[in-house]
Amino acid sequence: MGMTMTEKILARGAGRDSVRPGDLVLAKVDFAMGHDLTIPPAGKIMREQMGAEKIWDPDRVAVTQDHFQPAKDAASATLGRLTREFSHQMGIKWYFEVGQGGICHTVLPEHGLVLPGELVVGADSHSCTYGALNNFATGIGSTDLACVLALGELWFRVPETLKFVYHNRLKEWVEAKDLILYVIGQIGVDGARSKAMEHVGEALKHIDMEARLTITNMAIEAGAKNGILEFDEVTKEYLDGRAKRPYTPVSSDPDAEYEKVFEFDVEKVELGVAKPMSPDNYAPLSEVAGTRLDQVFIGSCTNSRITDLRRAAAVLEGHKVADGVRLIITPSSHQVAIQAGEGEVCLSTTNRNFPGRMGHPKAMVYLSNPAVAAASAVTGVITHPSEVLKHLPANVA
């Protein structure tokens, strides 16, 4: 019987010829990540409770100061200090100081630290992002991270795999963000619970690596354990000159077993948003166009990579933000600091709009792609970007 990419990576990590969904395996980890919220407790558990004096491999751990940095208060400054001290004491090679890195999920791919065929864990729920680079990547808790730091291995339950096949090509203005919001709208926030989401199909050939990272970033918003893409020319080009280690890509066998296969004609996917209060509350843009806004946010680990910012900049060029609207653009910094007030309406390029995630529980948060967000900031209401700019310039389209 064949195996999926996810199954192959877990089998290799476990030193086995094959694994099946539901198997519990003890597997070697290739790379681990923690940040200023999760490293302090993991370090404490590792040293004080597990009795480890050093970490298993300082070359295979990355630590970012990205959640509460620069520190917003004394408590976050302390977390930053504990994170810094632990990283230095353990000799962690990939330590990213405040101002030198950015959001973990942007930094690790950028630096070529998470590679095809690898088993990657991160103590952050959006660690599934890295799977766009043809690896198994999943979010874990601080106790789990402590185990990985001490031993370089962790137990996993092999997930069932759901296959998503994307036919044809996305239309003008429609981005990877619209596609994944649409897919989550179809299957729901629980639609891929604890499972692997394998994304394949010709449509992906025309989607660049930064946009692919947006697709896998949101796997957790469908409840998935991981999201994974095939290795192709786009992956290879992205990693050339960037990959920090040699790597071996992985592909699914033709007779691999899937729990379910979903097929989408992506040409039919419209520019869309997730309406408040859940990422699966999808609506085509036409349904919400004209909704008055107080705030527009372009940022987060989902949509603030350089291509996102270029697209937003192209839409904004020559225009002014509408009166009464705040436009906040943060290149790959974290969304937690960005608050919307009670009853305010916000359009954001992040990944979650559950109540309380971004400001007051009664703030109304819509999710969209960066071009829609930029155009909406200009008009003050949710707007199709073609109303502001006829076509995206070729260099950012």
Q: Please list every residue from 52 through 81 that binds another protein, using CB under 8 A.
A: 52
Per the DSSP assignment, residues forming a β-bridge with 326 are 295
Regarding 128 and contact with another protein (CB under 8 A), the answer is: no
Of 223-242, which residues contact another protein (CB under 8 A)?
Answer: 223, 225
* 260 is an interface residue for another protein by CB under 8 A: no
CB of 54 to another protein, least distance (A): 10
Nearer to another protein, 143 or 186 (CB): 143
Question: Quick check: 141 binds another protein (CB under 8 A)?
Answer: yes
The b-or-e profile of 188-197 (16+ CB within 10 A means b, else e) is: ebebbeebbb
- How far is 210 from 99, CA to CA, in rounded Å? 21
Residue choice 7, 124, 144, 198 for contact with another protein (CB under 8 A): 144
In our burial notation (b when 16+ CB lie closer than 10 A, e otherwise), range 104-126 reads bbbbbbbebbbbbbbbbbbbbeb
- When asked if residue 126 is in the footprint of another protein (CB under 8 A), the reply is no
Going residue by residue from 172 to 211, which x/- string records binding to another protein, judged by CB under 8 A?
------------------x--xx-----------------
Complex with another protein: residue 148 or 174, whichever CB lies closer: 148
Question: 76, 78, 143, 386: which one contacts another protein (CB under 8 A)?
Answer: 143
Count CB-CB contacts under 10 A for residue 276.
17
378 residue type, one letter: V
User: 133-165: b or e for each residue (b if 16 or more CB lie within 10 Å)?
Assistant: bbbbbbbbebebbbbbbbbbbbebebbbbbbbb
CB of 233: closest distance to another protein in angstroms? Answer: 34
- Is there binding between residue 32 and another protein (CB under 8 A)? no
Judge contact between 351 and 368, C-beta under 8 A.
Answer: no
Q: Which stretch binds another protein (CB under 8 A): 22-30, 301-309, 322-330, 365-373?
A: 22-30
Amino acid at 203: A
Task: Report, in this order, helix, strand and coil percent for the chain, each rounded to 5.
Answer: 35, 20, 45
Q: Which residue among 15, 155, 259, 387 contacts another protein (CB under 8 A)? A: 155
Contact status: 336 vs another protein (CB under 8 A): no
Q: Which residues fall within 8 angstroms of residue 307, CB to CB, at 6 or more apart?
A: 208, 210, 211, 396
32, 145 contact by CB (below 8 A): yes
Count of CB atoms within 10 A of residue 217's CB?
A: 28
Instruction: Report how many residues bind another protein under the rule CB under 8 A.
Output: 25
**10 and 27 in contact (C-beta within 8 Å)?**
yes
Stretch that binds another protein, among 46-54, 80-88, 239-247, 358-366 (CB under 8 A): 46-54
- Residue 18 as a binder of another protein (CB under 8 A): the answer is no
Residue 173 region, left (φ>0) first, then alpha (ψ -120 to 50), else beta?
A: left
147, 301, 347, 374: which one binds another protein (CB under 8 A): 147
Residue 146 interacting with another protein (CB under 8 A): yes
Does residue 17 touch another protein according to CB under 8 A? no
The answer to whether 30 touches 56, Cβ cutoff 8 Å, is: no
Residue from 273, 268, 179 nearest 227 by CA = 179
Q: Which region among 4-12, 64-72, 148-156, 249-257 touches another protein (by CB under 8 A)? A: 148-156
119 forms part of the interface with another protein (CB under 8 A) = no
Q: Smallest distance from the beta carbon of 148 to another protein, in angstroms?
A: 10
Can you tell me which of 37, 71, 98, 151 binds another protein, judged by CB under 8 A? 151
The pattern of x and - marking residues 277 through 306 that bind another protein according to CB under 8 A reads ------------------------------
Q: Which spans of this chain sit near another protein (rule: CB under 8 A)?
A: 22-26, 45, 49-52, 140-141, 143-144, 146-147, 150-151, 155, 157, 190, 193-194, 223, 225
